[in-house]
Amino acid sequence: MLKSNTYSQKRKQNDIMSKINNRRFERYDTTQKVSYRTSPDTAYKHGITNNISKTGMLLETQEPVAQGTPLDLVLKIKGTPVHFKGKCVYTLGENHGAHSGVHIGKINTAGMKLFLAFISALEKANQAPKSSLRPEIEEMENVLLKISGEHKVITHFVVGLQDMMKDHDPSAEPAEYEAILNLMKKDLTTHFEIEEKIYFKIGLTHMPAEHHGLISELTNEHEDMREKLDRIIDFIEECSRTNAPVNKNLKALLTELLEQIKEHARKEITDLFPFMEENGDVKSKLMETLRMVMS
């Protein structure tokens, strides 16, 4: 019997470590006070987070939180309380110092911007320090690297969502979809606006007319992807309200959008930006504009 229990405990720990090692978003070490409760009818208790990402945190509590327990969480950022909906996905420890892996679900709208800025600051703090931003924009090659870097952020969301659909993870339906799609929407919206107001505008003004069709096509794709993403988020939120699973039809819509995002990025990187690099007027105007933005 003892051998069986030991085997079960090891298997449980292996399952937990598998979840930790397969996180879709990097965790950043930080020690922050967190208030939490297991239902709207109970009082908030106090815990500490030892690390955090866009979609999860490690929560240290005085007593264990059962796996699968829904949580209301409050994290103060710069003195402002940010409210989360979450769920305990695993717990280690029985008493007096339990550690729980918490999936962050919906973040209240008022706190979303503050939370993302907080995560961004942690991310920058974990990167190697740079002597200057200006050398990064002195060469067109580095401009393209910066664009590719933005695309990698979006790709991170795309791959994470594709993995969720491939894995058929019940714990990811629909709360995790909702959280990641809302985060992706914020990054995509900013990315699209920068491209349209800087890269596309400069391209239309200074590139030969034969390239205008490609820019118009990419602009129209931005609008189409915005509409598709909003529609999918509406469906996901309805699933959350009704406790319905993310069905095959909804996953098919999401798959279509993710494939469109990847193809769109490919056209920008292989078709548009090389033309911009080769055109002296475009390159000069783009560098001038980016220096003004960075200064």
pLDDT in tens, 53-110: 888 888 888 888 888 889 999 999 888 899 988 888 877 765 556 788 888 877 877 7
Same domain membership, residue 273 and residue 209: yes
Same domain membership, residue 144 and residue 116: no
Same domain membership, residue 104 and residue 147: no
Question: So what's the pLDDT on residue 216?
Answer: 93
Phi and psi torsions of 207, nearest 5°: -85, 155
Same domain membership, residue 170 and residue 110: no
> Could you give the angle at which helices 175-194 and 109-125 cross, rounded to 10 degrees?
70
Domain count, the chain: 2
- CB–CB of 28/122 below 8 Å? yes
Domain that holds residue 59: 2-125
Same domain membership, residue 227 and residue 280: yes
Same domain membership, residue 88 and residue 185: no
Same domain membership, residue 15 and residue 93: yes
Residues with Cβ < 8 Å from 111, sequence gap 6 or more? 77, 80, 81, 82, 83
Question: Tell me, what CATH number does 11's domain have?
Answer: 2.40.10.220
Same domain membership, residue 184 and residue 266: yes
Same domain membership, residue 286 and residue 150: yes
Same domain membership, residue 165 and residue 27: no
Same domain membership, residue 192 and residue 160: yes
In the predicted structure, residue 255 carries a pLDDT above the cut 50: yes
Question: So what's the pLDDT on residue 173?
Answer: 65
